[in-house]
Amino acid sequence: MDFNFLTKTVLFRGISAEEIENMMCCLSGYCRDYGKGEMIYRAGDVVQTLGMVLSGSVYIENDDIWGNKSILDCFGPGQVFAETYACVPGEPLMVTVVAAEPVKVLFLNIGQVMQTCSQNCRFHGRLIRNLLTVSAQKNLNLSRRIFHTSSKSIRGRLLSYLSYQATRQGSLQFDIPFNRQQLADYLSVDRSAMSNELSKMQKEGILKVSRNHFCLKNPL
């Protein structure tokens, strides 16, 4: 495990690589590899561990009983998932976590994260504060998706999401973590209708798009 990488994550911010290595035992930390499309957690599971992506990426999905799928988020290296459910004993997951590509995940027992261990690790309190920061960031991400899908028009939703990506990445040219179907799921719109709208926007000179690469030509 690359403990130096972990020092750069939000969850382990302010904790040295040596301290993290020493903490792994009392946190019951272990790693597991998953292939693309493999389920990591399923909706309905009751979990006691949070997961951190070490390499690759995962999708957080919501599926209804009719098979309609909605992608709620995409997490890459250093990001954490399932921590909220793990913190609430007996609460079943409302979402499914799927490997978007080959992925390596670090799992930590939430019970041992939330309470100081018998060895009284001096950085355990910082770990708990960092977990609170992670939770707050998740709330912001959820609020952001609600904002992107608040427009009644497909164009409005696309402009909101693409504008955010351009601002976040600091460039009018950027890649998004979704393919066409996944972007439609994330924005809760029909794929064909969204593709038609993207074609209209290209003809109007607002943007250029190739697969998941976008170039905004006339930002509003």
The ranges of the chain annotated as CATH 1.10.10.10 are: 151-216
The stretch 149-168 carries a mean pLDDT of 95
Question: What does pTM read for this prediction?
Answer: 0.78
**What would the pLDDT profile of 71-82 be if each residue is shown by its tens digit?**
888 899 999 999
Which has the higher per-residue pLDDT, 199 or 126? 199
CATH of span 151-216: 1.10.10.10
- Give me the CATH topology for the region 3-147: Jelly Rolls (2.60.120)
Contacts 24+ apart (CB under 8 A), 21-30: 22/121, 23/121, 23/123, 23/124, 23/127, 26/112, 26/117, 26/118, 26/119, 26/121, 27/108, 27/109, 27/112, 27/113, 28/108, 28/109, 28/112, 29/106, 29/107, 29/108, 29/109, 30/106, 30/107
CATH 2.60.120.10 residue ranges in the chain? 3-147
pLDDT score of 39: 96
Supply the pLDDT for residue 56: 97
